[in-house]
């Protein structure tokens, strides 16, 4: 946990508590952390999942890699330090949403165990649900949604996860979704069924 900088006096304990906000919204907050290769299906599943949650009356927020990098994190590159800073800010934002009682869906490649543990340490172990969106590299490469695999193979794009930068599969995810065997609808439904008991207000 980061220590509080000098001359900073947080007032967390004087703010309206999360439990009060959850009661108002009639739901419990959690942060789903979707990790997987580019093209594995994180964004597509997040969109479908959010639509299901909305239909069922849940308030949600999707935080998605390219969206965040086009706004809040548009000053960050893909160096090791900046990738870490990218995830630190995302996890802090995620935590703010969770503290508001919002079900938060994070879609980030987050390729290493270390970086996912870092996110978990910020969001908090009880609220962090790691979901491995798993498709073989060959399938992701065939899909090549953004044309990035082609660029990486040609050498025009360096340090691309799965090609010349490693992806460490989660060892103990809360859930694993194999998107080469499932449809988008099935994938989103499995995550919804998994999270429902955890976010239902009782
Ligand atoms: P990511 O966000 O992980 O980079 P995208 O969601 O942008 O991946 O792209 C995944 C692609 O794979 C989409 O074109 C989507 O239609 C396709 N796809 C095929 N099957 C699935 C599935 N079960 N879940 C998610 N995406 C799938």
Dihedral sign computed on CA atoms, order 65, 71, 77, 82: negative
* Cβ 30 vs Cβ 199: under 8 Å: yes
Whether 44 lines ligand 1, by a CB cut-off of 6 Å, is yes
According to the model, what pLDDT value does residue 66 have?
86
According to the model, what pLDDT value does residue 96 have?
97
Nearest CA to ligand 1 atom 25: 41
Atom of ligand 1 nearest to the CA of 36: 3
Question: Is 38 a known active-site residue?
Answer: no
Give the pTM.
0.94
According to the model, what pLDDT value does residue 9 have?
87
Per CATH, domain 16-199 is 3.60.70.12:
no
Whole-number Å distance, alpha carbon 45 to ligand 1 midpoint, is 7
Catalytic residue of the set 38, 40, 43, 110 = 110
Q: Reduced to 3 states, what is the DSSP secondary structure of residue 195?
A: helix
- From 34, 39, 40, 41, the mutation candidate for ligand 1 (largest count of ligand atoms within 8 A of CB) is 41
Rounded distance between C-alpha atoms, residue 82 and residue 77, angstroms: 6
Question: Six-digit token pair at 107?
Answer: 């879609």
Nearest CA to ligand 1 atom 24: 184
Nearest CA to ligand 1 atom 18: 41
**Is 14 exposed, middle or buried, given 0-12, 13-18 or 19+ CB atoms closer than 10 A?**
exposed
* Residue of 56, 63, 54 lying closest to 32 (CA atoms): 63
DSSP 65-128: HHHHHTTTTTT--SSHHHHHHHHHHHHHHHHHHHHTT-EEEEE----SHHHHHHHHHHH-TTTE
Whether 42 lines ligand 1, by a CB cut-off of 6 Å, is yes
According to the model, what pLDDT value does residue 202 have?
83
According to the model, what pLDDT value does residue 137 have?
98
According to the model, what pLDDT value does residue 2 have?
61
According to the model, what pLDDT value does residue 4 have?
86
Dihedral sign computed on CA atoms, order 54, 59, 64, 68: positive
pLDDT tens, per residue, the chain with 202 residues: 567 889 888 888 878 899 999 999 999 999 999 999 999 999 999 999 999 999 999 999 999 988 899 999 999 988 889 989 999 999 999 999 999 999 999 999 999 999 999 999 999 999 999 999 999 999 999 999 999 999 999 999 999 999 999 999 999 999 999 999 999 999 999 999 999 999 999 8
- From 40, 44, 52, the mutation candidate for ligand 1 (largest count of ligand atoms within 8 A of CB) is 44
According to the model, what pLDDT value does residue 119 have?
98
Contacts of 101 (CB under 8 A, 6+ apart): 18, 21, 22, 24, 25, 27, 28, 29, 59
């Amino acid at each position: 946990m980061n220590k509080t900088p000098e001359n900073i006096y947080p007032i967390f304990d004087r703010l309206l508590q999360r439990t009060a906000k959850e009661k108002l919204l009639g739901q419990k907050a959690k942060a789903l952390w979707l990790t997987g290769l580019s093209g594995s299906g994180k964004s597509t599943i997040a969109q479908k999942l959010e639509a299901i949650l909305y239909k069922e009356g849940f308030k949600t927020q999707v935080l998605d890699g390219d969206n965040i990098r086009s706004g809040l994190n548009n000053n960050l590159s893909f160096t090791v330090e900046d990738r870490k800073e990218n995830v630190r800010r995302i996890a802090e934002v995620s935590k703010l949403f969770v503290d508001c009682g919002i079900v938060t869906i994070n879609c980030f490649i987050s390729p290493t165990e270390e970086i996912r543990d870092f996110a978990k340490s910020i969001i908090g172990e009880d609220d962090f649900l790691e979901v491995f969106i798993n498709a073989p590299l060959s399938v992701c490469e065939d899909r090549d949604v953004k044309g990035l695999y082609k660029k990486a193979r040609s050498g025009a794009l360096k340090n691309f996860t799965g090609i010349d930068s490693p992806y460490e599969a989660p060892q103990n995810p809360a859930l694993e979704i194999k998107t080469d065997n499932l449809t988008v609808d099935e994938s989103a439904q499995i995550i919804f069924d998994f999270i429902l008991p955890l976010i239902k207000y009782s």
